[in-house]
Amino acid sequence: MAKRVAVIGAGVSGLASIKSCLEEGLEPTCFERSSDIGGLWRFTEYVEKGRASIYNSVFMNSSKEMSCFSDFPMPDHFPNYLHNTKFLEYLRLYAKRFDLLKYIRFKTAVISVEKTKDHSATGQWKVATQSDDKQESFVFDAVMVCIGHQIEAYIPPAECFPGFEKFKGKYLHSQNYKNPEGFQGKTVVIIGMGNSAADIAVELCRKAKKVVLSSRGGSWVMSRVFDNGYPWDVILHTRFKNLLLNLLPLDIVRWMVEKKMNEWFNHENYGLVPQNRLLLKEPVFNDHLPSHIICGDVTVKPNVKGFTETSALYDDGTVEENVDVVIFATGYSTIFPFLDESVIKVEENRAPLYKHVFPPHLEKPTLAVIGLIQPLGPIMPTSELQARWATRVFKGQSVLPSESTMVADTSKRNEKRVKWFGTSRSQSIQTEFIGYLDELATGVGAKPNLIMLLLKDPKLALTVFFGPCTPFQFRLMGPGKWAGARQAILTQTERILKPTKTRIVANSLGYTMVSLLKILGLLVLLAAIFLSFGRH
């Protein structure tokens, strides 16, 4: 009999989990508390309890070729960075293509997940749900928790802002920010320096009287438009660069990062430079922020150390008078409202999970957390590989090491995270990208074998190594192999160019000239090497 799996949540991670269950011959039932799929990516005018919420203008910060599922490339006419509505459209296409909707029970919230009486023998879970006024309970062989980590808004505790209780203006968390209506003529202080803080500042400064970004930590700000106009992630996330990154000493990497980040504008002169330059903090993606700073629409200030009835006091002793609104873009807290602490205990906003997926101390590996991660790249292929690995583990086709090995690995991983990304709350589940994907893929048995590829299909191997590490790479071999993967990889550049190259000029001579020059250069180089060998 096929194992029954409860999937909690129907966002990116939930959809990938249902699909992975089906691929492995497991029987999924997905519970989604809202009335539709998409999770965070389904914009609504009002915040819904228990579901992540975004503002109207959210565009993705990762590009379409990198942010799709591994066996379902985005339509070639889709832009490279999608508006939230467009990404939701993609999720709908995906659900339809693989017929996922019929496994989802909408308007059904999971309210508790407990071990059954004979759990130590069977690994089964009792899952209790609530829909309208009806409560039900079911027994499942395994559970995939896919609730995201942007449900519970986090505002720093009162002691961080003495006097805040006296502040007479309005305040809200970025989760409740929807659009710039109502901010006309206001003085707004935004606390935080992540993607949301920067987006909101840029959007509000057109309407508000004054917009201030207050940040303790600062941040690198990057453009979505990277080298030669390609999306940043298809340039930076290649296996070749990843190899270099792992071979070079961390100090050199930091120096290179800093140099690259300051090419666009000097972050120190714009008040944005990260406080702790020793760390590889996740950048903010915003094409407009520096231009608003140089035009004086947005001012960057240090941390707010306190409030009066009408003003904000900054660390540097300066004061912001007549503040109308304070927006806390201060992130989220990780919560598992339906799980007992004996199953997962969140500490310092982090759940100690083996490879960010499995609680290490369970009797049987039958509960997995999918999507509780912040990779330096898109979440879609990451969640998907987590789900593919987890379902293989449920089936016993991939075996976890002993508890002590898992605990040791988890703390070692955390030490590495602190060394790379620091102890800041916003980086508590940060991880690298390609290295982590490969690790998961190894668990699945789907990591591309480059040597074998090079022998069999050199053209493909070179694209896999030097080109962007697109999700299709994890469908070339092993369980879950997809016959379309090769073609998807070889046509990815076409799909990147299609939506922007909408005015094509015939006989582009420039290109042939450049190619000729390149070949000429190569010949000169070869000749030089040949001659210098000849001399010895």
Ligand X SMILES: Cc1cc2nc3c(=O)[nH]c(=O)nc-3n(C[C@H](O)[C@H](O)[C@H](O)COP(=O)(O)OP(=O)(O)OC[C@H]3O[C@@H](n4cnc5c(N)ncnc54)[C@H](O)[C@@H]3O)c2cc1C
Residues that bind ligand NAG (CB under 6 A): 61-62, 194-196, 282, 374, 376-377
Q: Where are the alpha helices (DSSP H) in 48-172?
A: 84-97, 119-122
Minimum CB separation of residue 90 from ligand NAG in Å reads 16
CA angle (11, 14, 16) in 5-degree steps: 105
Q: How far, in Å, CA of 212 to CA of 481, rounded?
A: 50
Contact 129, 6 (CB under 8 A): no
406 binds, among ligand X, ligand NAG, none (CB under 5 to 8 A by kind): none
Minimum CB separation of residue 518 from ligand X in Å reads 34
Q: How far, in Å, CA of 125 to CA of 49, rounded?
A: 25
State which residue, 187 or 374, has the beta carbon closest to ligand NAG: 374
Q: Where are the alpha helices (DSSP H) in 116-228?
A: 119-122, 195-204
Q: How far, in Å, CA of 183 to CA of 419, rounded?
A: 40
Minimum CB separation of residue 17 from ligand X in Å reads 9
CA angle (210, 47, 41) in 5-degree steps: 95
* Pairing relationship of beta strands 367-369 and 284-285 according to DSSP bridges: unpaired
State which residue, 13 or 366, has the beta carbon closest to ligand NAG: 13
33 binds, among ligand NAG, ligand X, none (CB under 5 to 8 A by kind): ligand X
Nearest of 263, 258, 261 to residue 277 by alpha carbon: 258
State which residue, 37 or 488, has the beta carbon closest to ligand X: 37
* Pairing relationship of beta strands 27-31 and 325-328 according to DSSP bridges: unpaired
Q: What is the DSSP letter of 170?
A: E
109 binds, among ligand X, ligand NAG, none (CB under 5 to 8 A by kind): ligand X
Minimum CB separation of residue 374 from ligand NAG in Å reads 5
State which residue, 6 or 272, has the beta carbon closest to ligand NAG: 272
70 binds, among ligand X, ligand NAG, none (CB under 5 to 8 A by kind): none
376 binds, among ligand NAG, ligand X, none (CB under 5 to 8 A by kind): ligand NAG
Minimum CB separation of residue 145 from ligand X in Å reads 9
54 binds, among ligand NAG, ligand X, none (CB under 5 to 8 A by kind): ligand X
Q: How far, in Å, CA of 144 to CA of 113, rounded?
A: 11
Report the interface residues with ligand X, using CB under 6 A.
Answer: 8-14, 31-34, 39-41, 50-52, 54, 58, 60-62, 67, 109-110, 146-148, 150, 196, 338, 371, 378-380, 383
CB contact set of 161 (below 8 Å; sequence gap of 6+): 304, 305, 306, 307
Minimum CB separation of residue 489 from ligand NAG in Å reads 21
Minimum CB separation of residue 388 from ligand NAG in Å reads 21
Q: How far, in Å, CA of 66 to CA of 470, rounded?
A: 5
Q: How far, in Å, CA of 345 to CA of 424, rounded?
A: 19
174 binds, among ligand NAG, ligand X, none (CB under 5 to 8 A by kind): none
State which residue, 14 or 381, has the beta carbon closest to ligand NAG: 381
Minimum CB separation of residue 261 from ligand X in Å reads 19
Nearest of 94, 106, 96 to residue 67 by alpha carbon: 94
Residue closest to ligand NAG (Cβ): 195
Q: How far, in Å, CA of 153 to CA of 345, rounded?
A: 19
State which residue, 31 or 436, has the beta carbon closest to ligand X: 31
194 binds, among ligand X, ligand NAG, none (CB under 5 to 8 A by kind): ligand NAG
